[in-house]
Amino acid sequence: PITPGELLCLGSSLAFSGLFYYLYRRKARVVARIQEAPKLQVDDDLPALVSAAEGRCLPYVALEGIVLPAQAALTSHYHEGLQGVIQKLLLKEHRLIWNSLVRSW
């Protein structure tokens, strides 16, 4: 005989398993899209490529290019000869979305 507590635990376990599998599949699709993203070089042709894209938006793109430090490169305290720079990326995307409650853009 199965008690109501065991049924409750089994049901909640199945619900959580379904939820976590759904979240896993969503993230796996995003990872697959990122891995298949086109690789573009940072050069003078990049603005033309973005403006020619559908909706002037590239969902996933890997940008490749040389990053130069503004002053001196950062050096690692733990690995000799390893250098890096800090880069700040600011992305602003403007979209008009129809709001059906207020009936406005």
pLDDT at 80 over 90: no
3-state secondary structure of 39: strand
Residue 56: which of 65, 64, 48 has the closest Cα? 48
pLDDT value, residue 5: 94
Average of pLDDT values for 66-77? 76
Please provide the average confidence, as pLDDT, over all residues in the chain. 81
- Indicate the range of 8-12, 21-25, 27-31 predicted with least confidence: 27-31
Q: Where are the domains of the chain?
A: 4-84
CA terminus-to-terminus distance, the chain = 59
